Amino acid sequence: MKDFETLEKKLGLEFKNKDLLTQAFTHRSYLNENPGLKLEHNERLEFLGDAVIELIVTDYLYKEYPEKAEGDLTNWRAALVNAKMMTSVSEKLGFNDFLLLSRGEAKEMGKARAYILANTFEALLGAMYLDSGFAVCEEFIKKYLLPNLSEIIEDGSYKDAKSKFQEEAQEKVSVTPNYKVIKESGPDHEKKFVVGVYLAEELVAEGQGLSKQEAEEAAAKLALEVKKWE
């Protein structure tokens, strides 16, 4: 088992329920090889943490930028809470050293590992919320995630394909795009998604990814090409 006490010291955390911290880093594949472990995998914590992160970021942006329109705030939030950003923060914080993965999964890097790291970040916030409450989560997000906002604004990276496609669609055809999962495949710990982006009933493009978010971004990018709105 990993030395999570080291991680707690590094992050300035002190879990009352140490099992929650361990669970946040426990991938489904690890339990397949260690069925005797009396812990769940981290997917339910990930579900909770996703909502906690989004609320903290939304609250911060709303209060700190009263002059900004909803569109800008939405785009900034999307850039802060997307998988790419959470993977980057997780790597900087050394989460790779604490992941509990199957032997096979531990060898996988690239997109699959990035996706696991992003999910673990969300799961950790879910665990923190259950263990210590909202204020501790807020302090953590302000310390490790929100400092990236200035760079996002400066380099314009918040304008991802989804944001651009939505802006163009609303301006040109007065329709807000919607996304639907067309297909899911693969085992639970390594699902692949095909997502379609629609303008009303029109299927404009499809995208694939290891997460719904990644597939939506791919679909939006292709949709911009299809509509020649680049």
Identify the CA nearest to 125 among candidates 135, 110, 115.
135
* Residue owning tokens 């050394």: 94
Please pick, among 46, 122, 168, 214, the residue that the annotation labels catalytic.
122
Q: Which residue has the tokens 């906690």?
A: 52
Contacts for 29 with CB less than 8 Å, ≥ 6 apart: 101, 102, 104, 105, 189
* 50 flagged as catalytic: yes
Give the three-class secondary structure for 193. Answer: strand
The question of whether 216 is a catalytic residue gets the answer: no
What's the CA angle centered on 161, arms 114 and 206, to 5 degrees? 80
Catalytic hit among 50, 105, 138, 168: 50
DSSP 133-190: -HHHHHHHHHHHTGGGHHHHHHHTTT--HHHHHHHHHHHHTS---EEEEEEEES-GGG
Burial of residue 24 (number of CB atoms within 10 Å: 0-12, 13-18, 19+): buried
Cα 54 to Cα 80, 84, 150, 168, distances in angstroms: 9, 15, 18, 25
Catalytic residues: 50, 122
